[in-house]
């Protein structure tokens, strides 16, 4: 049939007698103009939203765990040794990472596909009239919010990326360098998108999953906070922009004053499918199952993170490090052990009863002998870990669900669920504000913000019990009381805030990017490697190179596709 079609078309071209045949729109094909109807514009917007959940364990971008957790010292890669998705092992060790890492190239590609969807929808929305499409401005704001999100991820991953918006013709894409904008100018483009979104989104959206005005303000605050830490070409932090910090503080005040959000009563509620879209959820990726599609819109980004037991089956990735588990220890006041937490490693189950801990430990880490995901009849075992002799026996909990959870679904040989994944929650907003205040020298105003998060954590123990009713670990949680258990200087407050970010958001995907923003990644990680190598031999080759490893290299494939137009990051 294809050969016959070529003959017909060729004959028409030669004889000039088939213009009517050639002008016919092929069946089952929709033209670009047909997509500009109000009904189809809404579908193009939905297609852009679908990009949020289109990731896959080979290069996830929902939780960012391979780039933000296993590169931060909070997690090991996990799985069945260094060769099991070796690209992630290269991320973890830094010294073995390369410009031709296929996962980095795939990540770049997938994020630009998402941006392409947002741009396509925006280009069509821009030509629509308000009369024909009354929601035009709101949908434009939603698309700029999504585009800002995807560019934010690219920016913290690769630093220098080509910026393409809906006004640029596709024929010009191969002429756009990744160095058109400076580091700060590129932040400025992302800030513009969130600023537009904040100005034009409604305070309340009629459909769950669409960002509202305050979600945009929160993401704008996050972007400004990152941009405030100015970097030179070698990724050194050269200063902090006080004006941007003032904006962060003001934006967080607006989100807090909206009355729409509050800390969940129990920390657990943020990670249970039955409580999704709760009071702490500012913006979350919405997953689904039983929605009319073959396998639903499932969280494939975390599909490798379940235990190796008969109820699940695969695959034991994303394993909390010894260092992270030790970081949950508390002192006699119930405060973090900033300088001594890692001196003695936890080696046996009884340590969790003889020492004292922040309750967030058992919300975050699956530990042998402890209930898995709050079920006292479902006890996590060392044998459930994939390769405990390599990566230890801990696994990540926040992304997981129980096998009888309505959100759970097997996608053999892997596991998945339709549980939402939070991009920004209200605790983020409180700590964005606290960080801005501390760096502005207003640390006393940050104290109640940090303490409110610690108080919530301390009260989140009702689900952390064994079958006999006893607490799973020995919990002791205190708040900071200047003059009683601490001296609240700017330096101490900064240390307390950074520690709080680590424990509150442990295993949620952004820890490494915090270290880079603060300008401490090299010192922090090489100190981490010095001790952790003695506990886990898979890190023997690990070394962070300052001035290079703060960012992934621009993928070699992308440089080749651009015919050398893209410039490689410093150090690579």
3-state secondary structure 433-487: HHHHHHHCCCHHHHHHHHHHHHHHHHCCCCCCECCCCCECCCECCCCCCECCCEC
pTM above 0.85, yes or no: yes
Domain boundaries, given as residue ranges, for the chain = 1-30, 33-297+422-561
Name the CA radius of gyration of the chain, rounded: 25
Q: Which two tokens stand for residue 351?
A: 């340590």
Half-sphere exposure of 534 toward its Cβ, with a 13 Å CA cutoff?
A: 9
CA pair distance 564, 557, nearest whole angstrom? 10
Q: Which two tokens stand for residue 72?
A: 């931060």
Q: Domain 33-297+422-561 class?
A: mainly alpha
The DSSP bridge partners found for residue 379 are 371
C-alpha dist (Å) from residue 511 to 131, 320, 341, 514, 515: 46, 13, 18, 5, 7
3-state secondary structure of 548: coil
3-state secondary structure of 416: strand
* Residue 173 DSSP class: G
Q: Which two tokens stand for residue 555?
A: 């993928």
Of 420, 388, 422, 395, the residue nearest 312 (C-alpha) = 395
Of 386, 413, 508, the residue nearest 77 (C-alpha) = 386
Residue pLDDT tens, the chain, 572 long: 333 333 333 333 333 444 443 455 555 555 577 788 889 999 999 999 999 999 899 999 998 999 999 999 999 999 999 999 999 999 999 999 999 999 999 999 999 999 999 999 999 999 999 999 999 999 999 999 999 999 999 999 999 999 999 999 999 999 999 999 999 999 999 999 999 999 999 999 999 999 999 999 999 999 999 999 999 999 999 999 999 999 999 999 999 999 999 999 999 999 999 999 999 999 999 999 998 888 789 999 999 999 999 999 899 999 999 999 999 999 999 999 999 999 999 999 999 999 999 999 999 999 999 999 999 999 999 999 999 999 999 999 999 999 999 999 998 899 999 999 999 999 999 999 999 999 999 999 999 999 999 999 999 999 999 999 999 999 999 999 999 999 999 999 999 999 999 999 999 999 999 999 999 999 999 999 999 999 999 999 999 999 999 999 999 999 999 999 999 999 99
What's the sign of the alpha-carbon dihedral 476, 498, 250, 193?
A: negative
Q: Are 179 and 567 in contact (CB under 8 A)?
A: yes
Angle formed at CA 68 by CA 64 and CA 74, multiple of 5 degrees? 125
CA pair distance 425, 510, nearest whole angstrom? 13
């Amino acid at each position: 049939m294809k050969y016959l079609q070529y003959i017909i078309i060729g004959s028409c071209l030669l004889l000039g007698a088939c213009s009517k045949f050639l002008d016919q729109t092929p069946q089952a094909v929709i033209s670009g103009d047909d997509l500009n109807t109000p009904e189809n514009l809404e579908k193009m917007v939905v297609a852009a939203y679908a990009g949020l959940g289109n990731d896959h364990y080979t290069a996830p971008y929902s939780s960012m765990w391979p780039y933000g957790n296993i590169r931060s010292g909070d997690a090991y890669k996990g799985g069945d040794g260094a060769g099991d998705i070796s690209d992630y092992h290269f991320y973890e060790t830094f010294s073995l990472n390369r410009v031709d890492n296929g996962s980095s190239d795939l990540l770049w590609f997938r994020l630009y596909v998402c941006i392409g969807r947002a741009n396509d929808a925006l280009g069509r929305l821009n030509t629509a009239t308000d009369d024909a499409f009354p929601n035009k401005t709101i949908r434009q704001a939603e698309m700029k919010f999504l585009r800002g999100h995807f560019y934010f991820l690219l920016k913290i991953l690769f630093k220098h990326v080509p910026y393409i918006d809906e006004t640029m013709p596709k024929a010009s894409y191969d002429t756009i360098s990744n160095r058109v904008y400076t580091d700060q100018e590129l932040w400025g483009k992302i800030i513009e998108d969130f600023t537009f979104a904040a100005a034009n989104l409604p305070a309340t959206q009629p459909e769950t999953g669409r960002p509202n005005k305050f979600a945009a303000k929160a993401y704008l605050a996050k972007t400004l906070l990152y941009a405030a830490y100015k970097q030179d070409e070698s990724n050194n932090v050269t200063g902090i922009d006080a004006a941007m910090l003032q904006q962060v503080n003001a934006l967080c005040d607006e989100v807090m004053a909206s009355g729409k959000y509050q800390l969940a009563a129990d920390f657990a509620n943020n990670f249970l499918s039955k409580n999704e879209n709760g009071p702490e959820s500012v913006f979350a990726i919405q997953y689904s199952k039983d929605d009319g599609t073959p396998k639903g819109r499932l969280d494939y980004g975390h599909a490798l993170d379940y235990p190796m037991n008969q109820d699940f089956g695969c695959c034991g990735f994303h394993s909390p490090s010894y260092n992270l588990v030790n970081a949950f220890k508390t002192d006699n006041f119930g405060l973090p052990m900033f300088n001594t937490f890692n001196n003695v490693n936890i080696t046996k189950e009884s340590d969790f009863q003889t020492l004292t801990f922040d309750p967030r430990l058992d919300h975050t880490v699956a530990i042998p002998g402890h209930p898995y995901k709050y079920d006292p009849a479902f006890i996590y075992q060392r044998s459930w870990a994939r390769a405990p002799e390599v990566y230890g026996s801990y696994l990540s909990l926040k992304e997981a669900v129980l096998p009888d959870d309505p959100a759970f679904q097997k996608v053999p040989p892997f596991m998945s669920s339709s549980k939402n994944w939070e991009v920004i929650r209200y605790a983020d907003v409180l700590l964005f504000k606290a960080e801005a205040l501390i760096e502005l020298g207003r640390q006393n105003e940050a104290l109640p913000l940090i303490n409110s998060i610690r108080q919530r954590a301390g009260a989140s123990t009702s689900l952390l019990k064994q079958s006999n009713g006893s607490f799973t670990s020995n919990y002791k949680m205190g708040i900071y009381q200047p003059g009683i258990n601490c001296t609240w200087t700017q330096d101490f407050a900064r240390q307390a805030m950074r520690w709080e970010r680590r424990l509150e958001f442990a295993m949620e995907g952004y820890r490494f990017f915090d270290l880079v923003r603060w300008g401490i990644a090299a010192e922090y990680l090489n100190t981490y490697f010095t001790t952790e190598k003695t506990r886990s031999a898979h890190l023997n080759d690990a070394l962070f190179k300052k001035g290079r490893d703060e960012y992934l290299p621009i993928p070699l494939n992308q440089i080749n596709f651009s015919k050398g137009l893209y410039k490689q990051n410093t150090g690579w």
